[in-house]
């Protein structure tokens, strides 16, 4: 009775505060319009702020940042870095040294969610990258959503965020690291904690089966108006909540739910599942928020691509994918990008990353304003036979096969099958279903046809099966992918199974577990 009374009191208070908060959110719109309409000017200012701030750091002195106030000089002086190149600097910061990559103290590190290596990456998080990138971008997302839906009651309830855990650094007790969401939770202002659920003691748990159970129990009675999280774990949570409550859909559990914010993996294979399990229409927004920074988000549901945030402490360059692996890869600026081409973002940030290759690949869906979509990872593709298949292609093909067969895919990965004395090449797929197709052969045929219609290079290699024969598809028992993630110590949070690989090591590991 007391819990219900407290919940009603909270809702009443938030209804009173909501108009004021939404008005504050709308007041940010003129700032958003300023950098949206003048992105090149915004980027020039960001670059100047970055080099001015970091010019007297160790990195700044090494590369003479005080002289690098234009892009040409920046490119000629500083090489493109991958994580291993910056790792020695980052390890020193984690051991307690400061003024190395950035000029303000760094005590927080976002632990990378990469799954292709047993070793994690630790991305430095400065006060500036928290305030002027991650939190600023989050406020801008809220402002854009209120512009789209002025009558929204989003802030009359709570946002359920399915995030990760954090740990104390055993080397230096001042430094802490964890999944990006955990770092953001720990540094939120006190008033923002009122707007989220569950309690931090649950949100930061690191054992995911128990965590899902606790989140479900803690949030069932809350007035949840928005949910954020990776689609796979969000679906696991929703299903558990329905088991506990006996309700038919999530809309019955949370009648005020109006928004789901997603990112990390393509939402295409999951959207039908969400619409069915929620049971009524809600809004969906895609975010491009990584450990390295909050890069982009949809301005409104249904947009083709996410608006690139150009005034949030990150300076962007774009490397055509064909340049990857060259001794001196070339990059271009926003003014030269073309829609539909694959680029690898190279970023310089207010967290101390300098000309850093994120590892993602993106495509621009429009320019002026600049909108992007994530097309895959630099190292997650199949091109063993010149087919140049990327994750965006396979996600779409999976979605088509599911739509036409009624199947529901929970996860998948694929890799090449190389030529042998007895057979030509192929793609081997490992697929885990929530609902398997009634006719597996039909699912495989549709998947192959869809991929041919999406990717002309794959279609050419499949012609008469001269280079590529029919895909080899193996249906895995439920839970196989999670077992593989658990074996890597990466179950939960934003960790995910790589969709594609150009060699077979990962696929063979998962096959062994099956």
Instruction: Express each pLDDT in 180-206 by its tens digit.
Output: 888 888 888 776 777 889 988 888 887
Q: Which of 369-378, 485-494, 505-514 has the lowest mean pLDDT?
A: 485-494
Confidence tier at 5 by pLDDT (50, 70, 90): very low
Q: Is the peptide bond before 298 cis (omega within 30 degrees of 0)?
A: no
Helix (H) or strand (E) segment spanning residue 450: helix 440-454
Domain at 268, CATH number: 3.40.50.12780
The 3 state secondary structure assigned to 197-257 is ECCHHHHCCCCHHHHHHHHHHHHCCCCEEEEECCHHHHHHHHHHHHHHHCCCCHHHHCCCC
Which range marks the domain in which residue 395 is found?
Answer: 381-513
Residues 202 and 263 in one domain: yes
Residues 367 and 393 in one domain: no
Largest CA distance in the chain: 74
User: Does position 2 have pLDDT exceeding 60, yes or no?
Assistant: no
Confidence tier at 118 by pLDDT (50, 70, 90): very low
Q: Pick the closest to residue 256 from 237, 282, 274, 275 (CA basis).
A: 282
Residues 6+ apart with CB under 8 A from 283: 145, 149, 258, 259, 260, 301
Q: 426 - beta bridge partners?
A: 417
Residues 408 and 363 in one domain: no
Residues 6+ apart with CB under 8 A from 289: 134, 137, 180, 263, 295, 297
Confidence tier at 75 by pLDDT (50, 70, 90): very high
Domain at 452, CATH number: 3.30.300
Q: Which of 135-139, 417-421, 501-505 has the lowest mean pLDDT?
A: 417-421
Instruction: State the pLDDT at residue 493.
Output: 62
Residues 418 and 335 in one domain: no
* Residue whose entry in the numeric block shows the structure tokens 């997650």: 380
Q: Output the average pLDDT for the chain.
A: 89
Instruction: State the pLDDT at residue 188.
Output: 84
Residues 154 and 267 in one domain: yes
Separation of alpha carbons 436 and 428, rounded Å: 18
Average pLDDT over residues 94-109: 95
Instruction: State the pLDDT at residue 254.
Output: 98
Number of domains the chain contains: 2
Instruction: State the pLDDT at residue 8.
Output: 54
Residues 78 and 178 in one domain: yes
Instruction: State the pLDDT at residue 420.
Output: 72
Residues 24 and 136 in one domain: yes
Residue where a domain terminates, one of 377, 406, 425: 377
Q: Which of 3-7, 16-20, 122-126 has the lowest mean pLDDT?
A: 3-7
Residues 308 and 413 in one domain: no
Q: Pick the closest to residue 345 from 365, 300, 367, 375 (CA basis).
A: 375
Q: What is the tens place of the pLDDT at every residue in 309-359?
A: 999 999 999 999 889 888 899 999 999 999 999 999 999 999 999 999 998
Q: Pick the closest to residue 96 from 83, 109, 86, 85 (CA basis).
A: 109
Residues 302 and 439 in one domain: no
pLDDT above 90 as % of the chain: 63
Residues 23 and 48 in one domain: yes
Average pLDDT over residues 114-140: 83
Higher-scoring residue by pLDDT: 390, 112 = 390
Higher-scoring residue by pLDDT: 369, 173 = 369
Instruction: State the pLDDT at residue 168.
Output: 56
Average pLDDT over residues 260-271: 84
Instruction: State the pLDDT at residue 114.
Output: 47
What torsion do the CA atoms of 123, 124, 127, 129 make, to the nearest 10 degrees? -40
Instruction: State the pLDDT at residue 13.
Output: 53
Instruction: State the pLDDT at residue 27.
Output: 74
Residues 322 and 467 in one domain: no
Confidence tier at 4 by pLDDT (50, 70, 90): very low
Residue where a domain terminates, one of 351, 377, 403: 377
Q: Which of 139-153, 156-170, 294-308 has the lowest mean pLDDT?
A: 156-170
Strands 259-262, 314-320: pairing kind: unpaired
In b/e form, how buried is each residue of 16-43, taking b as 16+ CB within 10 angstroms? eebeebbeebeebeeebeebbeebeebb
User: Does position 268 have pLDDT exceeding 60, yes or no?
Assistant: yes
Q: Pick the closest to residue 9 from 23, 188, 17 (CA basis).
A: 17
Residue where a domain terminates, one of 343, 377, 411: 377
> Contact, 112 vs 123, CB < 8 A?
yes
Residues 259 and 304 in one domain: yes
């Amino acid at each position: 009775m007391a819990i219900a009374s407290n919940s009603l009191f909270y809702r009443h208070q938030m209804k009173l505060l909501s108009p004021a908060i939404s008005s504050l959110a709308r007041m940010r719109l003129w700032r958003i319009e300023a950098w949206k309409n003048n992105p090149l000017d915004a980027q020039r200012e960001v670059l100047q702020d970055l080099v001015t701030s970091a010019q007297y750091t160790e990195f700044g002195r090494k590369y003479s940042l005080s002289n690098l106030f234009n892009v040409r000089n920046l490119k000629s002086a500083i090489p493109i870095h991958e994580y291993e190149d910056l790792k020695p600097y980052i390890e020193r910061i984690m051991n307690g040294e400061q003024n190395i990559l950035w000029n303000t103290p760094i005590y927080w590190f976002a632990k990378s969610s990469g799954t292709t290596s047993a070793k994690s990456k630790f991305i430095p998080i400065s006060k500036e990258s928290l305030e002027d990138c991650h939190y600023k971008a989050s406020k801008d997302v809220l402002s854009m959503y209120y512009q789209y839906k002025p009558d929204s009651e989003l802030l009359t309830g709570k946002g359920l965020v399915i995030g990760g855990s954090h740990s104390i650094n055993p080397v230096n007790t001042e430094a802490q690291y964890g999944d990006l969401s955990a770092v953001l939770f720990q540094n939120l202002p006190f008033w923002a904690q009122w707007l989220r659920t569950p309690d931090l003691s649950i949100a930061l748990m690191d054992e995911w089966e128990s965590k899902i159970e606790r989140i479900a129990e803690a949030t069932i009675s809350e007035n949840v108006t928005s949910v954020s999280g990776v689609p796979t774990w969000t679906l696991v949570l929703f299903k558990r909540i329905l088991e506990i409550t006996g309700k038919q859909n999530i809309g019955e559990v949370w009648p005020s739910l109006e928004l789901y914010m997603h990112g990390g993996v393509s939402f295409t294979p999951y959207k039908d599942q969400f619409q069915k399990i929620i049971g009524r229409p809600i809004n969906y927004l895609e975010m491009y928020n990584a450990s390295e920074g909050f890069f982009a988000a949809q301005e409104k549901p249904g947009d083709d691509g996410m608006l690139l945030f150009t005034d949030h402490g990150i300076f962007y360059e774009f490397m055509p994918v064909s340049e990857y692996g060259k001794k001196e890869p070339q990059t271009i600026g926003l003014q030269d990008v073309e829609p539909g081409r694959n680029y690898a973002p190279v970023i310089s940030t207010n967290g101390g990353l300098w000309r850093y290759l994120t590892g993602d690949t993106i495509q621009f869906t429009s320019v002026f304003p600049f909108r992007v979509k994530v097309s895959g990872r630099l190292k997650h593709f199949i091109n063993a036979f010149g087919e140049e298949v990327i994750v965006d292609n396979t996600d779409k093909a999976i979605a088509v096969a599911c739509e036409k067969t009624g199947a529901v895919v929970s996860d998948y990965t694929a890799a090449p099958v190389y030529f042998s004395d007895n057979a030509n090449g192929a793609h081997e797929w490992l697929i885990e279903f929530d609902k398997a197709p009634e006719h597996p052969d039909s699912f495989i045929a549709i998947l192959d046809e869809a991929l041919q219609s999406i990717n002309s290079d794959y279609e050419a290699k499949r012609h008469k099966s001269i280079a590529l024969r029919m895909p080899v598809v193996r249906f895995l028992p439920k839970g196989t992918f999670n077992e593989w993630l658990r074996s890597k110590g990466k179950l939960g949070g934003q960790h995910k199974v790589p969709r594609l690989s150009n060699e077979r090591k990962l696929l063979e590991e998962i096959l062994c577990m099956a």
